[in-house]
Amino acid sequence: MHETRVRVGLLGCGNVGGALAELLLADGDRIAERTGMVLELRAVAVRSLSRPRAASIPPELLTTDAQAVAADPDLDVVVEVIGGIEPARTLILAALGSGKPVVTANKELLANCGTELFDAAAAAGRDLLFEAAVAGGIPLIRPLRESLAGERIHRVLGIVNGTTNYILSQMAAHGASYQEALAEAQSLGFAERDPTADVEGFDAAAKAAVIAHVAFGARVVAGDVDREGIGAIGADDIVSAHRLGFVIKPLAVIEEVDGAIGVRVHPAMVPAAHPLASVRDSFNAVFVEGEAVGELMFLGRGAGGAPTASAVLGDLLDAAHNLTVGGAGRTPALRAVPRRSIDDLVSAYYLTLEVADRPGVLHAVAGVLGDHSVSVRSMEQEGAAEGARLVFVTHPALERDMQACLQELHALDAVRRVGGLIRVVGA
Amino acid sequence: MHETRVRVGLLGCGNVGGALAELLLADGDRIAERTGMVLELRAVAVRSLSRPRAASIPPELLTTDAQAVAADPDLDVVVEVIGGIEPARTLILAALGSGKPVVTANKELLANCGTELFDAAAAAGRDLLFEAAVAGGIPLIRPLRESLAGERIHRVLGIVNGTTNYILSQMAAHGASYQEALAEAQSLGFAERDPTADVEGFDAAAKAAVIAHVAFGARVVAGDVDREGIGAIGADDIVSAHRLGFVIKPLAVIEEVDGAIGVRVHPAMVPAAHPLASVRDSFNAVFVEGEAVGELMFLGRGAGGAPTASAVLGDLLDAAHNLTVGGAGRTPALRAVPRRSIDDLVSAYYLTLEVADRPGVLHAVAGVLGDHSVSVRSMEQEGAAEGARLVFVTHPALERDMQACLQELHALDAVRRVGGLIRVVGA
Ligand SMILES: NC(=O)c1ccc[n+]([C@@H]2O[C@H](COP(=O)([O-])OP(=O)(O)OC[C@H]3O[C@@H](n4cnc5c(N)ncnc54)[C@H](OP(=O)(O)O)[C@@H]3O)[C@@H](O)[C@H]2O)c1
Ligand SMILES: NC(=O)c1ccc[n+]([C@@H]2O[C@H](COP(=O)([O-])OP(=O)(O)OC[C@H]3O[C@@H](n4cnc5c(N)ncnc54)[C@H](OP(=O)(O)O)[C@@H]3O)[C@@H](O)[C@H]2O)c1
């Protein structure tokens, strides 16, 4: 087979960069034999030379001058796995500006500067590929960008954060509290010491914005995403969900409704029979609803050095192939789209209230719901210390009506606590 | 956005071709707006003009001269959705020969003439794309060919035939017999009047061969595939499987073991917690095990006009894009590989025997198993009319030893019937 040599510069050599370097160095011959592409790792930019690296990386490849690697005319492709906005943004722009395609895993950067980067790639006529930025090793971006390029996609539902899926799965499997499950996730390395980015939904929101880019060509940035964390989910919610036939999952929802794009991240009640309900532990999965194709799901490892490096490698081979035929793949062209606010969402809701156990309470609560045209599909009452816990599932209602209910319910004398409001998705 | 006009010739206008024509005609503007590609349907080859067609297809596009469409220099891309070997093969070769990329959904043809067709595509420098040939609407071929091009894939497990998955799912859900479930599938249109291709595994075997092409670059033809149908699965097997923590699924298994490629199609015992176990009804799913990426699963509609047309449309846009940059995507280059015969398989097995209920029977059976180094993980005995039913699950054993056992067990006086031998996969 005709062999093509491709000189690769790597920016960043942490979890993902290290795993990629290992793959290229240890597996290069097999990759060349299989694909005809010889991927030569020529430079690895690191922050500090004194940090220990995988032994297989020849020390002469290491440099602390990332800018020089990005701009190096003797490299063919650049991989950015530093993360964060700067210097990653400047480095990627430099690489594209010098005519090199770029592969990145950086959801944060894409979710904040996607338009600028895609425009730079289009202007350079070079690829900017980012399969690894969403759902790690799962092929998702390429199927959305290419296989489904002509599909009228209605909605994408994603479990795109492994940490929160792990926490909620542990709570469901073992009756653990949120704090216990979080601590366990931290001790196992599934959650960071500071878990904010994961549990508050910032990580998922960045990925949701990137999905909006490729599924809808929508110019959405991370800050546009309606976002809610999982910290308010209690062990009792998990139990109630199970009894009602649901599983609570951390979802990113990206959808088109009447020509407007809604993008939101929150825990959701998913029917137990839905394919997303059985996506457990730290697995990720993305469920796509399209007009012609119907329902699709992609499942796999959303994080980890090796799975993520696998996605980067696929992009690298794609960029290398496109280079040899002298062009680029299809860069998303983002357009301004009408945004659909979560206030306009129509959804069924799960709602719990702790109330004083006295006559008339349910009447008062039902009055509030009724005043806002929220109709109740089911209600269960459980005894609670010195009172009762009411568990409602509503019929589809308008989010803004539901929020207005919450305000009034808070003010009701007999209501001790308004518990979680959890949207039902996928029913 | 700059628009590219692409003139499309369609060969065959049945389930898939009709749905594709509808998509192109009804949705062309949206597709053009989204992708910059104007897909102009210019000719539709049919067998008979008198057959009723979707009203939206302008009659002047119809022709019975498929060969003229294939060779037409005024077309840019050809879609083959006639099916079968001839005339599809000749038409595809003619289209490639005249410099046109081809999109096909024809697993039968690829599984029998893949090498010839891929070589013709490579010689022409044109795409031969076939996403729709395996698992209908599910993006699988492109992820395997591109996203996972550098991945060391160990094994692919696929539920790639919706009919047999539907039948086994109905048996499991409602305790139906095989015959009842088949009849129901036929009445609902999920199974053909002559169900042989599905229930005997021919359809899945063709798809398995195509998966072997893209996952391993292996020159495998349909006839190479070890194949077993689902007809021997009884309602009692379904019940026993459930009790033992398994679900019986119709699987295609494509794997590399010690450098040799094994390709087989048979019903399998899948652990209930495995993601494939919850793929129900007529859904398809493909589970991929890779060295770096870990475990992936792709799920969706494996058949139906619209889902399959969606996959064809994705390929069409890919071919159109590649044309505009003057090249082709990556055509699989198939190489001869050592084949791994099913005789060399190492697997756990589920085995049932109907035996006379008398002392010494178990001793005799255990003797046969032991003589062939097959060790038993679990055994259950159930009363049966005038005898007993023994249900074994073995530890991993060699297929050829297991088959030798079956021969001897048949010959044992006390064994009235040797029931299904079902391989355990995914444990
Ligand atoms: N890890 C995953 O599972 C995963 C999954 C999907 C996507 N991603 C994305 O992949 C990217 C990398 O993630 P990661 O987990 O590999 O992060 P990481 O382990 O923190 O690696 C980042 C590396 O970049 C280095 N670095 C920082 N500034 C640099 C500079 N100016 N020049 C050269 N190197 C510099 C860091 O060095 P120091 O260690 O000295 O700071 C570190 O080694 C991020 O965008 C992340 O979102 C990661
Ligand atoms: N249906 C699915 O769900 C599905 C899914 C995946 C892949 N596929 C594949 O897609 C292909 C098409 O399947 P299908 O379900 O659309 O089959 P189909 O409904 O039988 O359509 C095939 C069409 O080709 C026409 N035809 C036969 N010979 C022809 C000729 N010489 N010139 C022009 N037209 C001719 C047939 O006409 P007559 O009706 O007059 O014979 C028929 O309309 C097959 O390769 C199949 O394996 C199908």
Q: What is the pLDDT of residue B8?
A: 98
**Is residue B207 in a domain?**
yes
Closest chain A residue to the Cα of B297, Cα to Cα: A299
Give the orientation angle of helix B361-371 with respect to helix B399-411, to 10 degrees: 150
Q: Return the amino acid letter for A407.
A: Q
Ligand 1 atom with minimal separation from the A16 CA: 16
Residue A1: pLDDT over 60: no
Q: Decide if A7 contacts A77 (C-beta within 8 A).
A: yes
User: Do A241 and A359 share a domain, yes or no?
Assistant: no
Strand ordering across the sheet containing A37-45 = A62-63, A37-45, A4-11, A77-80, A102-104, A128-129
User: Do A119 and A179 share a domain, yes or no?
Assistant: no
How many domains is chain B built from? 3
Residue B52: pLDDT over 80: no
**Is residue B329 in a domain?**
no
Residue with the nearest Cα to atom 14 of ligand 1?
A15
Q: Decide if A267 contacts A227 (C-beta within 8 A).
A: no
CATH number, domain of A255, equals: 3.30.360.10
User: Do A251 and A289 share a domain, yes or no?
Assistant: yes
pLDDT digits (tens, 9 = 90+) for A333-354: 899 999 999 999 999 999 999 9
Average pLDDT, rounded, for chain B: 95
Q: Decide if A69 contacts A36 (C-beta within 8 A).
A: no
Distance CA B206, CA B263 (A): 10
Mean per-residue pLDDT for A282-300?
A: 97
The encoded tokens of residue B135 equal: 């698992």
CA distances from A14 to A60, A133, A206, A284 (A): 18, 15, 20, 22
* Minimum distance, in Å, between the CA of residue B20 and any CA atom of chain A: 10
Query: Does B76 or B51 have the greater pLDDT score?
Result: B76
Judged by DSSP in three states, B269 sits in: strand
What residues contact residue A318 under an 8 Å CB cut-off, 6+ apart? A127, A129, A142, A329, B146, B149
**Is residue A333 in a domain?**
no
**Is residue B334 in a domain?**
no
Percent of chain B at pLDDT > 70 equals 99
A304 CB under 6 A from ligand 1?
yes
Q: What is the pLDDT of residue B382?
A: 87
What residues contact residue B230 under an 8 Å CB cut-off, 6+ apart? B164, B167, B168, B178, B199, B201, B250, B267
What residues contact residue A94 under an 8 Å CB cut-off, 6+ apart? A67, A70, A71
Residue with the nearest Cα to atom 33 of ligand 2?
B46
The encoded tokens of residue A25 equal: 């160095």
User: Do A176 and A313 share a domain, yes or no?
Assistant: no
The encoded tokens of residue A426 equal: 């996928």
Mean per-residue pLDDT for B248-267?
A: 97
Exposure pattern of B248-284 as b/e (b: 16+ CB <10 Å)?
Answer: bbbbbbbbbeeeebbbbbbbbbbeeebbbbbbbebbb
Partner-chain residue, chosen from A290, A295, A321, that has the shortest CB–CB distance to B330: A321
pLDDT digits (tens, 9 = 90+) for A38-57: 999 999 999 999 877 767 89
- Cβ distance B292 to A278 less than 8 Å, yes or no, reads no
DSSP-assigned states of every residue in A354-397: EE--STTHHHHHHHHHHHTT--EEEEEEEEETTEEEEEEEEPSE
Query: Catalytic residues of A, which ones?
Result: 207
A295 contact B CB<8A: yes
- Cβ distance B327 to A327 less than 8 Å, yes or no, reads yes
What residues contact residue B162 under an 8 Å CB cut-off, 6+ apart? B136, B190, B281, B282, B283, B284, B301, B302, B303
- Cβ distance A297 to B300 less than 8 Å, yes or no, reads yes
The encoded tokens of residue A205 equal: 């929101």
What residues contact residue A110 under an 8 Å CB cut-off, 6+ apart? A104, A117, A130, A133, A206, A209, A210, A213
Q: Nearest CA to B205 among B185, B186, B182, B228?
A: B228
A390 CB under 6 A from ligand 1?
no
pLDDT digits (tens, 9 = 90+) for B291-349: 999 999 999 999 999 999 999 999 999 999 999 887 788 888 899 999 999 999 999 99
Q: What is the pLDDT of residue B383?
A: 81
User: Do A161 and A279 share a domain, yes or no?
Assistant: yes
- Cβ distance A300 to B278 less than 8 Å, yes or no, reads no
**Is residue A335 in a domain?**
no
Residue B55: pLDDT over 80: no
* Minimum distance, in Å, between the CA of residue A405 and any CA atom of chain B: 38
User: Do A116 and A177 share a domain, yes or no?
Assistant: no
- Ligand found nearest the CA of A310: 1
Residue listed under structure tokens 């609803």: A289
Ligand 1 atom with minimal separation from the A136 CA: 6
DSSP-assigned states of every residue in A248-283: EEEEEEEEEETTEEEEEEEEEEEETTSGGGG--TTE
Distance CA B192, CA A53 (A): 59
Could you give the dihedral angle defined by the CA atoms of residues B295, B281, B146 and A156, in that order, rounded to the nearest 10 degrees? -90
pLDDT digits (tens, 9 = 90+) for B104-124: 999 999 999 999 999 999 999
Q: Nearest CA to A161 among A205, A108, A121?
A: A205
Mean per-residue pLDDT for A13-30?
A: 96
What residues contact residue B51 under an 8 Å CB cut-off, 6+ apart? none
Q: What is the pLDDT of residue B328?
A: 83
CATH number, domain of A359, equals: 3.30.70.260
A101 contact B CB<8A: no
Give the orientation angle of helix B107-124 with respect to helix B202-216, to 10 degrees: 30
User: Do A55 and A165 share a domain, yes or no?
Assistant: no
User: Do A309 and A296 share a domain, yes or no?
Assistant: no
**Is residue A360 in a domain?**
yes
- 10 Å CB burial of residue B107 (0-12, 13-18, 19+) is buried
B67 contact A CB<8A: no
CATH number, domain of A55, equals: 3.40.50.720
B81 CB under 6 A from ligand 2?
yes
Residue A105: pLDDT over 80: yes
Strands A128-129 and B37-45: unpaired
**Is residue B312 in a domain?**
yes
Sign of CA dihedral B368, B370, B376, B382: positive
Q: Decide if A399 contacts A348 (C-beta within 8 A).
A: no
Dihedral-angle region of residue A83 (phi above 0 means left; psi in -120 to 50 means alpha; beta otherwise): left
B284 contact A CB<8A: no
Closest chain B residue to the Cα of A312, Cα to Cα: B147
pLDDT band (50, 70, 90) for residue B28: very high
Partner-chain residue, chosen from A142, A292, A316, that has the shortest CB–CB distance to B142: A142
User: Do A269 and A319 share a domain, yes or no?
Assistant: no
Distance CA B148, CA B162 (A): 25
User: Do A287 and A220 share a domain, yes or no?
Assistant: yes
- Cβ distance A150 to B23 less than 8 Å, yes or no, reads yes
DSSP-assigned states of every residue in A126-143: --EE-GGGTTTTS--HHI
Q: Nearest CA to A110 among A94, A76, A75, A134?
A: A134
Q: Decide if A321 contacts A100 (C-beta within 8 A).
A: no
Ligand 2 atom with minimal separation from the B133 CA: 7
B16 CB under 6 A from ligand 2?
yes
Residue B56: pLDDT over 90: no
Distance CA A6, CA A317 (A): 9
B292 contact A CB<8A: yes
How many residues does the structure list for chain A?
427
Query: A21: which chain B residues are within 8 Å (Cβ-Cβ)?
Result: none
**Is residue A267 in a domain?**
yes
> What count of other Cβ atoms lies within 10 Å of the Cβ of residue B356?
14
- Ligand found nearest the CA of A308: 1
Alpha helical stretches, state H, A176-244: 178-187, 196-199, 202-216, 235-243
User: Do B109 and B220 share a domain, yes or no?
Assistant: no
pLDDT digits (tens, 9 = 90+) for B205-232: 999 999 999 999 999 999 999 999 999 9
For chain B, positions 113-132, list CB contacts with chain A under 8 A.
131
Closest chain A residue to the Cα of B286, Cα to Cα: A298
For chain A, positions 204-223, list CB contacts with chain B under 8 A.
217
Nearest-Å Rg of the Cα atoms of chain B is 24
User: Do A62 and A186 share a domain, yes or no?
Assistant: no
Per the structure, the complete domain to which residue B188 belongs is given by 149-301
- Cβ distance A137 to B294 less than 8 Å, yes or no, reads yes
Distance A105 CA to ligand 1 centre (A): 9
pLDDT digits (tens, 9 = 90+) for B165-181: 999 999 999 999 999 99
B402 CB under 6 A from ligand 2?
no
Q: What is the pLDDT of residue B385?
A: 66
Distance CA B352, CA B236 (A): 10
pLDDT digits (tens, 9 = 90+) for A388-400: 999 999 999 999 9
B19 contact A CB<8A: yes
Q: What is the pLDDT of residue B2?
A: 67
Mutating which of B20, B41, B151 best tests the A interface, going by the most A Cβ atoms within 10 A? B151
pLDDT band (50, 70, 90) for residue B359: confident
> What count of other Cβ atoms lies within 10 Å of the Cβ of residue A249?
27
Percent of chain A at pLDDT > 90 equals 91
Partner-chain residue, chosen from A143, A297, A313, that has the shortest CB–CB distance to B150: A313
For chain B, positions 305-324, list CB contacts with chain A under 8 A.
306-307, 309-311, 313-314, 316-318, 321-322
Could you give the dihedral angle defined by the CA atoms of residues A211, A217, A223 and A225, in that order, rounded to the nearest 10 degrees? -60
- Ligand found nearest the CA of A69: 1
Q: Which of A31-35, B105-109, B130-134 has the lowest mean pLDDT?
A: A31-35
Distance B81 CA to ligand 2 centre (A): 5
Distance CA A323, CA A38 (A): 13
